[in-house]
C-alpha cells in the first residue's frame, strides 16, 4: 500500500487509451495534429492566449521556464525548500547557464511579500553581487499548502514592481486548483504569473508535462532551448495526446480532486499529528520512529521526512477504499 | 503514403502492449523493476558488461555521451553532415558546455582514418586552439551507409592512439546491424566504441532510447547529468518497458530488417538513380523537380534533399505491399 | 630581430609613464576617475555616444561582445580563418554558453555579402538547426587586409536586413584606420557595427583593450558578464590609464602608422613574393623552407605560415632602421 | 584618508620598477622568461613542486581553481559570507558551468569541521540533489580572521575523508602568513589544500595574482580554461614580472606585515568596540551612525558594514603616521 509518491501511481486509463487509439501516424517532432492543438486548448482553459509546450518532465519545464526568465548572470528567488533547489540536481543552474538560486524563508515552503522583501533588501545593487531577475513559487508547495489567488497576486505585484519575472512550479497545480475551486486563470496570469510548469504526470499522465507561457514572447526562444536540450521528442505526438486526454472532460481536475479527497481522509484521522494544513494531496504527520515502523509493519509504504515526521502522498487512483486502512491505522496510533 | 521519416511511423504493437500490460505501479524515476533490468539485458546483448540508461530522445543520448567524453574546452571530430552538427540545435555544445564540433570530410557522411588524420593534422597543439577529445561517428550514417566492424575498428585504433573517446550515434544502429549480420558487439566495443546512442524510436518505439556505456566508468557522472537535464522522467519505468519490449525476441532486429528490406525494393527499382549505396532504410534518389512533383502527385510523401535529390525513408511497419506502389512509380520515371 | 608578433613588442613609454605618474590612489574596480573618463573620451573619438569598457585581453573583448550579440542557442557567422575560431580556445563558446561559430569563406579572411549570403542560404530555418544571430569580422583581417567603410557598410546592411548583430574584432583596428585615413566612425557604427573590440596591446599598450558598444543598450548586462568572468580588475584604474594614454594626442594612430610603414618597406622589397596585399602591419611572404632558414640564420625571427609562407609582423617600435636589414635580406633572396 | 579598501592603494615601487626596468621584449602570452620562472619560484617558496599561473584578478583565480575541483553538476561548500558567494557576481557558477555553492555557517566567516559536517549531513546522497565536490575557505577570512595550520588541517582531513577538493581563497594570504609566522607550506598543502588563490594586488601589486596548484595534475586543463576565459594576456610577461618582484626579498611578506601592523594599532585603540579579533589588515568596529559620521567628518573614508559597524582596511603603504590620526579618533569616540 503505497503512499510514498504520486509518481509511483500507474497511468490513468484515458491517457493510455489515447496512446493506443487510432494509428498515431503523423509528422515528427511537434508538427503533428495533436501538438498543434495545445496552444488553443490551453488558451481556452486559461481564458487568454497562451503558448503551451509539452516536455517530458517537470524538471525540464521548470528549468526551461527559469531560463526564459533569468539571464546567466542573474538570480532567482525561491524558497529554501523548493524542489528547484533541492530535488533537481542543479537543473536551473544548467539551463540558465549558472544563475544563482537565492533562498528565501517562509512557513510551509510558501513565500510571502515580507520574506521576499527581506531577501531582496539584503542584496546590494552593485555589479559584484548577482542581481535577482525572477521569483519562483510552487503551488501546491512542497508541503502541500496552496497559495490563494490573492497570495499569488501579492507576489505578482511585488514582482512587477521590481521587474522580476514570476514562475510557478505547478507539479501539483491540479491539486491546488481543485482545492481552491477557482479558475486556472485566477491563480496564474491574473495574479501576475509569467510562466507555469503545469504538471500532469503525478496526476495520471505517463511522460508529458506542459510548460505554459502567459508572457507569450518567451515561447519562441524556448522552442530552441527545448530542442537543444534533447527535450523535443521525435514522436512528440504521443506526449501531446497525453495532455489532450488529461484536458478532456476535466480529467485533470477529477483526478486531483480524488487525490485531495484521499488526503482529506488521512488528515481527519491524523488530527493533531498534522505538521501542515492539508490542502492538496500530501499529508505530513508527526510520528515517532516506532510509530512509523508500526505503520510500515502493516504494509504502508511512505517516506520519513526528517527524524520525526512521515510524508504521505495520495495518488489519483487511490479511492476511499484504498485510503481507509491507513486512515484507521493512523487513528489508532 | 509516407516516406519522409521513420519518426512518423506509429509505435509497434509489442511496445504499446508493454505499456498497457499489468499495472505499472512501482518506484519513481529509475528505481523500478524494469529500469533495473537494463544493465543486465544490454550486457547480455553486447556480450560484455555495459551500463545502459534510458533517455527520451536520441539528441539527449548523443549529447550526454559527448559530455561524458569531452570537457568544455575540448573538441569533437565529426562529419560535416553529422546529425549532431546539423540537426540538434547545438545540443552537443549545450551539454558539453561549449565544446567545439570539428568538421571532417568523407563520402556518404562516413569518416575514415585518412580524413580524420587530415583534420587532426591541421590542429595546432597549443593552448590557443581547441584540442580534440573525442570522435563521433553515425552508424548507419545520415546517408544510409553502414560502417563495417573493420571500418569502425580502424577509427577505434586511431582514437585509442590519439587518446580520443569514440562515440557512435546509432539512431539507426538496428538497421546497421541488420545489414551487417554481425553481432552488436563486433561493431561497437570490440571495434573501440566507448559510448553508443542506441536508437529505438525510429525503429518502432515511442519515447525511449538507450545510452550504452562500454566504458562503464563514464556512467556514474552521467546519472547526474541526466537528472540535471530534466531527462530523468518521474515514471521512467514506462521508458524502460519500451526498451525491454524491443529487446524481447529480437524485435529491434526484426523491425530493422523489415525497413531495410523495403529500402532494398526501392533501391532495386531506382537503379542508376541512386546517389548512395542503399545499406539501411534510407534511399537517396536523383530526381528532377518535375519527377519529384510527379511522385508527389501520386500521393508519395518525402523530403527533397537539395535541388535534385529526394530522400525516401522506410519505416518498420511498411511491408512489401506498402512499398510496391512507390517502387513501381520510380521504375516508370 | 623579431618579426613574429606585435605582442612581443615592449610597452610604449607614454603608457608606462601613465602608470608611474602620480599616485594612482583611487576607488577600486572601475569607479575611479580614469575609468570614468572612458565613455566620454571614446564617444568623442567616435563622434557618437558609446559605452567603453576596459578589459585585459582581446579575447575577452571579443567574447564579451559576442555574448552580448548572440544567445546560447544562436550562431555567429565568421571567417573560417578568424581569430575567434582558431586562436581563442573556444572563448566565444564559453562566453556565449555554447553558441556555434558558422564558418564562412572569403579571400584574405575577408567576408563579403556574397559569401555571407551563401552561408546563410545553407541554413534551414527550423528549430533543428542553430540560427544565426550575429556576424563577426576582423579589421584588419588575420592576413593584414583592411575592410573599407564601404565594404563594412555592405555587410552592415546585410546584417540589419537579416536582424543580425555586427561585431568587429579590431585587434589591429588602429592599423586599419591608419591605412584607410578615414575616421574611426566611418568604418564602425556608420557602417553598421554594433560592437568593437578596439585593440591597444599589440599597438603599444600593456594590458588594456577597449570594448566599445555603439549599441549602448548592450553595455549594462556586459558589466555583469565582465565581473562574472573575473575580468573586472580590482585596480582597474591602471587599465583605464593605459587607454587614456593611448588616446592622448592620437598616440594609437601614430603607433599604427609606424608599424604600417615598416610593413610597407618590407612589401616593397618583397614584390611578387607577397601572398596578400599589405595594408596593415603584417606581411605574408612566399618563401621556400630553405629561404626561410636563410633569413633565420641572419637573425630574423618569424613564424612559418604553412609550408611555403612566412608571416612577418611589424610592431609600433620598429623604425626604418630596424626594418631595413630584413627588407634588404628579402630583396636579395 | 582612505580605509575603505586595500584595492585602493597604489602599486608599490618595486613592482612598478619591474615593469619599467629593461626592455620587456619577449615571446607573447606565457612563453617568456619571466612567466617561465613562476613554477620554480613558487615551488621554492612552498617547499614542494607546485604549478603557478598568473591571472589578472582574484575572482579569476578563485573561479579557475573551483572549476578545476568541481564538475558542473557538483557543489562547493563555502561560508555564507564568502567572497565567492557574495562578491564575484556568480563567477564560480560561470567557470564551473553551474555548480552550486552550498552555504555553511561559522563565526567570523570561518568554517569548522563541525559546521561542515552539519552541512554535509543535510545533503541526501541521491541523484536528485547536487553532491559536494569541494570546500573553499578564505584565509584571512572576509572578517580578517586567520585559520591556523591546525584549523586548516582539520578541514583538510575532513576533505580527504569525504573525497572533496580543498581550495583556499588567499586574497589576503600574505596577511594570514604574516600573522601566523608559519611557512606558506604549513598553512596550505601540508594542511591538505589542493589549490590556492594567492593574492598580490591588494598587497601592492598592480594586476597580477597567482593561482597555485599543489595538486599539480589540475594545472594542465586549467591552462586551456585560462585561455578560453580571455585571461591569458598577450603580454603576460608584465604580470609575471609583478609576481617575481613581489617574491623578491619577501616583499609580499613585508608589505603584509606593515598592513597588519596598522590594523593592530587601530585594534588597540578600538578596544571593546571590536566585532572580531584583528589578525590581519581588517578592523570591524561597532559604531553608531553618528560616530561613523563623526569619523567621516574628520576625513576618514571607510565602508559601513551593516547599520552599526564600520569596516576599516589598512593597506601596505599606510605607515604608523598614516594610521595614528584614525587610531586617535577612534580612541576619543
What's the pLDDT tens digit per position in A157-184? 999 999 999 999 999 999 999 999 999 9
Q: What's the gap in Å between the CA of A106 and the closest CA on chain D?
A: 18
State the Cα angle at A198 between A196 and A202, rounded to 5°. Answer: 150
- In this structure, the answer to whether residues B105 and B243 fall within a common structural domain is yes
Q: How far apart are CA D266 and CA D281, in angstroms?
A: 10
- Residue C197 placed within a domain: yes
CB C145 within 8 A of CB C108: yes
With beta carbons under 8 A apart, name residues in chain A contacting B239. Answer: 207
The residue range of the domain holding B273 is 251-331
- In this structure, the answer to whether residues B202 and B269 fall within a common structural domain is no
β C165-170/C195-198 pair status: parallel
pLDDT at residue B39 in the model: 98
Residue found by looking up cell 608599424 in the block: C259
Evaluate if residue D333 carries a pLDDT over 90: no
DSSP state of D20: H
CB A232 within 8 A of CB B63: no
With beta carbons under 8 A apart, name residues in chain B contacting C127. Answer: 89
With beta carbons under 8 A apart, name residues in chain D contacting A96. Answer: 98
| Closest chain B residue to A301, measured at CA | B27
CB contact under 8 A, B90 and C97: no
CB contact under 8 A, C73 and A224: yes
- Residue B214 has a CB neighbour count (10 Å cut-off) of 21
Q: What region, left, alpha or beta, does residue A86 occupy, with left being phi > 0 and alpha being psi -120 to 50 degrees?
A: alpha
Evaluate if residue D307 carries a pLDDT over 80: yes
Residue of A16, A62, A95 with shortest CB distance to B19: A16
- Residue A31 placed within a domain: yes
Residue of B94, B201, B230 with shortest CB distance to A234: B201
- Residue B178 has a CB neighbour count (10 Å cut-off) of 26
| C-alpha dihedral sign at C133, C139, C145, C151 | positive
Residue of A8, A29, A230 with shortest CB distance to B91: A230
* Residue B108: C-alpha distances to residues A213, C150, D253 (Å): 42, 41, 65
The cell numbers describing A249, all together, are 472532460
| C-alpha dihedral sign at A212, A215, A220, A224 | negative
End-to-end Cα separation, chain B, in angstroms: 18
Instruction: Tell me the pLDDT tens digit for each residue of A187-240.
Output: 999 999 999 999 999 999 999 999 999 999 999 999 999 999 999 999 999 999
- In this structure, the answer to whether residues B33 and B123 fall within a common structural domain is yes
CB contact under 8 A, C59 and D29: no
- In this structure, the answer to whether residues D38 and D173 fall within a common structural domain is yes
pLDDT at residue D26 in the model: 87
Q: What region, left, alpha or beta, does residue A22 occupy, with left being phi > 0 and alpha being psi -120 to 50 degrees?
A: left
User: Across-strand partners of A170?
Assistant: A198
ipTM: 0.97
> B–D: how many Cβ contacts below 8 A?
35
Q: Which of A112-121, B262-271, C20-29, C320-329 has the lowest mean pLDDT?
A: C20-29
| C-alpha dihedral sign at A48, A54, A57, A59 | negative
| Closest chain A residue to B230, measured at CA | A60
Q: Which of C228, C250, C272 is the last residue of a domain?
A: C250
CB C152 within 8 A of CB C180: no
Q: How far apart are CA B42 and CA B48, in angstroms?
A: 9
Evaluate if residue C69 carries a pLDDT over 80: yes
CB A3 within 8 A of CB A301: yes
Average pLDDT over residues B200-223: 97
What are the backbone dihedrals phi and psi of residue A10, each rounded to the nearest 5 degrees, phi first?
Answer: -75, 175
Q: How far apart are CA C176 and CA C193, in angstroms?
A: 15
User: Which residues of A sit within 8 Å Cβ distance of D?
Assistant: 72-73, 75, 86-90, 93-94, 96-101, 127-130
State the Cα angle at A278 between A175 and A286, rounded to 5°. Answer: 135
| C-alpha dihedral sign at C62, C68, C73, C77 | negative
| Closest chain A residue to B86, measured at CA | A228
CB D210 within 8 A of CB D54: yes
Residue C148 is part of a domain; what is its CATH number?
3.40.640.10
* Residue A75: C-alpha distances to residues A92, A154, D63, D81 (Å): 10, 20, 18, 17
pLDDT at residue A1 in the model: 83
CB contact under 8 A, B127 and D232: yes
The cell numbers describing C170, all together, are 579590431
End-to-end Cα separation, chain C, in angstroms: 18
End-to-end Cα separation, chain A, in angstroms: 18
Residue of B86, B89, B100 with shortest CB distance to C93: B100
Evaluate if residue A307 carries a pLDDT over 90: no
Q: What's the gap in Å between the CA of D131 and the closest CA on chain A?
A: 8
CB contact under 8 A, C56 and D11: no
The cell numbers describing A307, all together, are 527524524
| Closest chain A residue to C126, measured at CA | A224
Q: How far apart are CA A209 and CA A171, in angstroms?
A: 9
CB A145 within 8 A of CB A110: yes
- Residue C8 placed within a domain: no
Residue of C73, C89, C101 with shortest CB distance to B89: C73
Residue of D25, D56, D88 with shortest CB distance to C56: D56
With beta carbons under 8 A apart, name residues in chain A contacting D121. Answer: none
Evaluate if residue B333 carries a pLDDT over 90: no
How many separate domains does chain D show?
Answer: 2
- In this structure, the answer to whether residues C166 and C54 fall within a common structural domain is yes
Residue found by looking up cell 615601487 in the block: D13
- Residue B4 placed within a domain: no
- In this structure, the answer to whether residues C94 and C153 fall within a common structural domain is yes
- Residue B280 placed within a domain: yes
Instruction: Tell me the pLDDT tens digit for each residue of B288-332.
Output: 999 999 999 999 999 999 889 999 999 999 999 999 999 999 999
- In this structure, the answer to whether residues D202 and D101 fall within a common structural domain is yes
Categorize the per-residue pLDDT at D222 as very low, low, confident or very high, splitting at 50, 70 and 90: very high
Q: How far apart are CA D298 and CA C180, in angstroms?
A: 56
Residue of A26, A224, A231 with shortest CB distance to B8: A26
| C-alpha dihedral sign at B43, B45, B46, B47 | positive
CB B67 within 8 A of CB B76: no
Nearest one of B276, B262, B333 to B306, comparing CA atoms: B276
Q: CA dihedral defined by A55, A56, A62, A64, rounded to 10 degrees? A: -50
D contact chains, 3+ CB pairs < 8 A? A, B, C
With beta carbons under 8 A apart, name residues in chain C contacting D57. Answer: 230-234
* Residue B8: C-alpha distances to residues A227, A235, B284 (Å): 18, 7, 18
C44 CB-near residues (< 8 Å, 6+ apart) = none
- Residue C3 placed within a domain: no
User: Across-strand partners of A101?
Assistant: A76
Average pLDDT over residues B73-99: 98
CB D202 within 8 A of CB D6: yes
- In this structure, the answer to whether residues C157 and C47 fall within a common structural domain is yes
The cell numbers describing A12, all together, are 490513468
Which pTM was predicted?
0.97
Selected for mutation to probe chain D from A98, A103, A303 (highest D CB count within 10 Å) is A98
CB D314 within 8 A of CB D266: yes
The cell numbers describing A76, all together, are 532567482
Instruction: Tell me the pLDDT tens digit for each residue of C270-286.
Output: 999 999 999 999 999 99
Q: How far apart are CA B45 and CA D5, in angstroms?
A: 65
- Residue D101 placed within a domain: yes
CB B31 within 8 A of CB B60: no
Average pLDDT taken over every residue of chain D: 96
CB C266 within 8 A of CB C330: yes
With beta carbons under 8 A apart, name residues in chain B contacting A15. Answer: none
With beta carbons under 8 A apart, name residues in chain C contacting B127. Answer: 89
Evaluate if residue A23 carries a pLDDT over 80: no
- In this structure, the answer to whether residues D231 and D272 fall within a common structural domain is no
Per-state percent for chain B, helix, strand, coil, to nearest 5: 45, 15, 40
Q: What's the gap in Å between the CA of D320 and the closest CA on chain A?
A: 32
Evaluate if residue A68 carries a pLDDT over 90: yes
Selected for mutation to probe chain B from C57, C62, C90, C99 (highest B CB count within 10 Å) is C90
- In this structure, the answer to whether residues D178 and D281 fall within a common structural domain is no
- Residue D157 placed within a domain: yes
Percent of chain A at pLDDT above 90? 96
Residue of C9, C10, C229 with shortest CB distance to D229: C229
Per-state percent for chain A, helix, strand, coil, to nearest 5: 45, 15, 40
With beta carbons under 8 A apart, name residues in chain C contacting A126. Answer: none
Collapsing DSSP to helix, strand or coil, C167 comes out as strand
Evaluate if residue A22 carries a pLDDT over 80: no
| Closest chain D residue to B129, measured at CA | D224
Evaluate if residue B250 carries a pLDDT over 80: yes
CB C214 within 8 A of CB C46: yes
Q: Which of A219, A249, A279 is the last residue of a domain?
A: A249
Q: Which of B230, B249, B268 is the last residue of a domain?
A: B249
CB C188 within 8 A of CB C155: no
Nearest one of A87, A120, A68 to A226, comparing CA atoms: A68
Residue of B24, B91, B206 with shortest CB distance to A238: B206
β B74-79/B100-104 pair status: parallel
Q: What's the gap in Å between the CA of A91 and the closest CA on chain B?
A: 4
CB B214 within 8 A of CB B50: yes
Q: Which of D52-85 are b and which e, b meaning 16 or more Cβ less than 10 Å from the residue's Cβ? A: bbbbbbbbbbbbbbbbbbbbbbbbbbbbebbbbb
Instruction: Tell me the pLDDT tens digit for each residue of D231-247.
Output: 999 999 999 999 999 99
| Closest chain A residue to B208, measured at CA | A233
Residue B270 is part of a domain; what is its CATH number?
3.90.1150.10
Instruction: Tell me the pLDDT tens digit for each residue of D24-54.
Output: 788 889 999 999 999 999 999 999 999 999 9
- In this structure, the answer to whether residues D84 and D218 fall within a common structural domain is yes
- In this structure, the answer to whether residues B175 and B204 fall within a common structural domain is yes
Amino acid at each position: 500500500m503505497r503512499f510514498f509518491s504520486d509518481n509511483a501511481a500507474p497511468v490513468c486509463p484515458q491517457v493510455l487509451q489515447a496512446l493506443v487509439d487510432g494509428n498515431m501516424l503523423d509528422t515528427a517532432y511537434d508538427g503533428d495534429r495533436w501538438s498543434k492543438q495545445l496552444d488553443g486548448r490551453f488558451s481556452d482553459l486559461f481564458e487568454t492566449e497562451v503558448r503551451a509546450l509539452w516536455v517530458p518532465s517537470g524538471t525540464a519545464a521548470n528549468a526551461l521556464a527559469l531560463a526564459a526568465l533569468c539571464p546567466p548572470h542573474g538570480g532567482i528567488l525561491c524558497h529554501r525548500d523548493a524542489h528547484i533547489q533541492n530535488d533537481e540536481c542543479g537543473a536551473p543552474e544548467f539551463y540558465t547557464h549558472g544563475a544563482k538560486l537565492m533562498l528565501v524563508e517562509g512557513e510551509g515552503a510558501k513565500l510571502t511579500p515580507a520574506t521576499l522583501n527581506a531577501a531582496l533588501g539584503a542584496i546590494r545593487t552593485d555589479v559584484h553581487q548577482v542581481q535577482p531577475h525572477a521569483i519562483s513559487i510552487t503551488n501546491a508547495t512542497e508541503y502541500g499548502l496552496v497559495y490563494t489567488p490573492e497570495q499569488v497576486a501579492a507576489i505578482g505585484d511585488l514582482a512587477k514592481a521590481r521587474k522580476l519575472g514570476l514562475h510557478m512550479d505547478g507539479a501539483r497545480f491540479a491539486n491546488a486548483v481543485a482545492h481552491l475551486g477557482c479558475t486556472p486563470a485566477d491563480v496564474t496570469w491574473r495574479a501576475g504569473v509569467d510562466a507555469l510548469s503545469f504538471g500532469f504526470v503525478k496526476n495520471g499522465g505517463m511522460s508529458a508535462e506542459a510548460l505554459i507561457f502567459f508572457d507569450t514572447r518567451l515561447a519562441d526562444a524556448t522552442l530552441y532551448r527545448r530542442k537543444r536540450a534533447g527535450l523535443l521528442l521525435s514522436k512528440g505526438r504521443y506526449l501531446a495526446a497525453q495532455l489532450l486526454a488529461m484536458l478532456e472532460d476535466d480529467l485533470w481536475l477529477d483526478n486531483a480532486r480524488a487525490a485531495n479527497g484521499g488526503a482529506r481522509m488521512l488528515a481527519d484521522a491524523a488530527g493533531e499529528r498534522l505538521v501542515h494544513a492539508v490542502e492538496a494531496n500530501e499529508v505530513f504527520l508527526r510520528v515517532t520512529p516506532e510509530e512509523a515502523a508500526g505503520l510500515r509493519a502493516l504494509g504502508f509504504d511512505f517516506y520519513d521526512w526528517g527524524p520525526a515526521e512521515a510524508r504521505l502522498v495520495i495518488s489519483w487512483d487511490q479511492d476511499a477504499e484504498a485510503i481507509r486502512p491507513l486512515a484507521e491505522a493512523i487513528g489508532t496510533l
